[in-house]
Structure 1
Amino acid sequence: MTELAENAPEALDDALPLGPGSLVWKYFGENRMYLIGPRPAVLQNMLAELGQGVLDHSTFFSDTAERLKRTIPPIFKTVYGSEQDNAGTQVRDFHHNIKGDLPGPDGTPVGRYHALDPETYYWAHATFVEQVIYFADTFVKRLTEAEKEQIFLESKTWYRRYGVSDRPQPATYAEFVQYWDRMLTEVAVPHKSARYGVGYVTKGFPCPKGVNPLVWKAVAKVFDPVAAFLTTGGLPPRARDLLGLPWSERQERNYQRFAAFCRSRPVNWAWDRLPMSVRYSKFAQVGYARG
């Protein structure tokens, strides 16, 4: 059963605003975010209801690039839009007809799913919230508990822009951590959509449309192992285990060394002096220009 929240954008007494001074703005649109790989998309699809919706209704399998081009901009416009002018309800309305049967292990339906069920919709949002925290804490600077709490409280404003019931939304960051841990340990499954999203880790990326196969063959020799390293290293250990992704102690040490290098003062000093057009997505740039 879906629930749409009435007057959700105004219900902000327990939240913090988005804007140029917010940490969500500071980190979500950063182009260094690519360093975490497809973490949020993979984790989203480990909720059976969401993974099945992608399998049944999305072009994710047939044209991944096109699906990302269509999906990502409205989410950025929800974050970097103003309270009065953002794409939140547009994103919500994309999902009205994303529903169907949820199959059991033998293919027999065991229930129904709908993308706008509050628990399903909030999980998708939660992976973005956790993405911001994980990215910043891993590749930019070690966040304090107060900064993590701030990001979470700002994410409440973000979520309410969708106009979906926030009944499943935790009240505090500490409760969000408990929710996150429970979802990974008790609810997450290796759904086909999630397995597809990380299939290139062992198989390599297919040649993108419009790229000469010979050129891609040369590029893939470097691109594939780097992508596999960032993707696998950027997933929680529980997700790696469920998806059967190989990851050794040596790889983990190398990943942590790489992350520490990225967080180092010289790297951040150099990054902060690059033009805004290099550091941030075009959607973040528009938001900051508007103020």
Structure 2
Amino acid sequence: MTELAEKPENLDDALPLGPQSLVWRYFGDNRMYLIGPRPAVLQNMLAELGQGVLDHSVFFDDTSARIKRSLPPIFNTVYGPDDANTGTRVRDFHTEIKGEMPDGARYHALDPDTYYWAHATFVEQVLYFADTFVKRLSREEKEQIYLESKTWYRRYGVSDRPMPADFDEFERYWDRMMDEIVVAHPTAKYGVGYVTKGFPCPKGVPQWAWRLVAPLFNPLAAFLTTGGLPPRARTLLNLPWTERQERRYQRFAAFWRSRPVNWLWDRLPMTLRYNGYAQKGYARA
């Protein structure tokens, strides 16, 4: 089922994006790397979305190519102006991503329920990142981020029928998806395989250089990836994680939230604190 959205006439139920918004403040922050691939893994745990990636994406052959194609227009959907964002371009990437599930059911990437789940993982990414690695968010700040995310989603031009009305509803939606709907799809399991096996040598990197880097890089990547996933996702994906590791992760997060670290980070140049898409958005604004 594919539903494109009519242009909303009344956006009183949402908040605008822009330099005053919390989504702008956090989504392009370079500390986002600390959460690992949380949104990508959770996206692929929805069976229909994971199947679409399995059937149509270059994810398995060239993961970096998929990232390079997908992320720029998503960031520009957030940081672009209202009349020139790239949301519909992101939507149109998915027009032909459709097929058949193993049980014979049909799937389409532009099914509103499937498309909204992908967006929801980005919204939750902002909430999780800010609350874990920047500062403890108040209830009002979480509500503000969610209401700004409604404006973000509507820029894609896909039906907002599945979109929760407010943050309370979003929390219930998220809990239901995690507790009842997501699965250990092969695409998601592939995406976290390096946690136990280690990363293969990236393209363009000499084997000798990777042998020097891998003993440091692989444990860090496994720590950030596994620690950055919800407990339910770790269980479904059979990722090893102990109470001791959890305590280390929480200390690591508390260090980044600490006042001295935030004080120092806020005084770094914009070019170090934000990615290029966010920098351009702030400069234009």
Q: TM-score scaled by structure 1?
A: 0.97
Encode CA deviations 1:73-118: one digit per residue, 9 max, x unaligned.
00000000011010000000000000000113xxxx2x00000000
SS in structure 2 opposite 1:100?
Answer: strand
Aligned residue number for residue 261 of structure 1: 255
Aligned residue number for residue 43 of structure 1: 42
SS in structure 1 opposite 2:99?
Answer: strand
Report the Cα distance in structure 1 between the residues aligned to 2:106 and 2:148, rounded to whole angstroms. 32
SS in structure 1 opposite 2:14?
Answer: coil
Aligned residue number for residue 225 of structure 2: 231
- Name the amino acid aligned to 2:3: E
Aligned residue number for residue 30 of structure 1: 29
Please say if 1:274 is aligned against 2:268: yes
Q: CA deviation at 1:132?
A: 0.0
Please say if 1:21 is aligned against 2:20: yes
SS in structure 1 opposite 2:241?
Answer: coil
Encode CA deviations 1:229-263: one digit per residue, 9 max, x unaligned.
00000000000000000000000000000000000
Listed as ranges, the matches of 1:1-291 within 5 Å are 1-8=1-8, 10-104=9-103, 109=104, 111-291=105-285
- Name the amino acid aligned to 1:7: K
Q: CA deviation at 1:12?
A: 1.4
- Name the amino acid aligned to 2:94: H
Report the Cα distance in structure 2 between the residues aligned to 1:45 and 1:2, rounded to whole angstroms. 19
Report the Cα distance in structure 2 between the residues aligned to 1:269 and 1:11, rounded to whole angstroms. 39
Q: TM-score scaled by structure 2?
A: 0.99
Q: CA deviation at 1:180?
A: 0.2
Q: Give 5+ residue unaligned stretches, structure 2.
A: none
- Name the amino acid aligned to 1:63: D
Report the Cα distance in structure 2 between the residues aligned to 1:62 and 1:169, rounded to whole angstroms. 33
SS in structure 1 opposite 2:222?
Answer: helix
Runs of 4+ in 1 over 4 A off after TM superposition: none
Report the Cα distance in structure 2 between the residues aligned to 1:61 and 1:259, rounded to whole angstroms. 31
- Name the amino acid aligned to 2:6: E
Aligned length: 285
Encode CA deviations 1:186-233: one digit per residue, 9 max, x unaligned.
000000000011000000011111000110111010000000000000
Across the aligned residues of Structure 1 and Structure 2, the Cα RMSD in angstroms comes to: 0.6
Encode CA deviations 1:130-162: one digit per residue, 9 max, x unaligned.
000000000000000000000000000000000
Report the Cα distance in structure 2 between the residues aligned to 1:121 and 1:271, rounded to whole angstroms. 34
Q: Give 5+ residue unaligned stretches, structure 1.
A: none
- Name the amino acid aligned to 2:218: D
SS in structure 1 opposite 2:92?
Answer: helix
* Sequence identity (%): 75
Report the Cα distance in structure 2 between the residues aligned to 1:102 and 1:26, rounded to whole angstroms. 39
SS in structure 2 opposite 1:103?
Answer: coil
Q: CA deviation at 1:11?
A: 3.8
- Name the amino acid aligned to 1:261: F
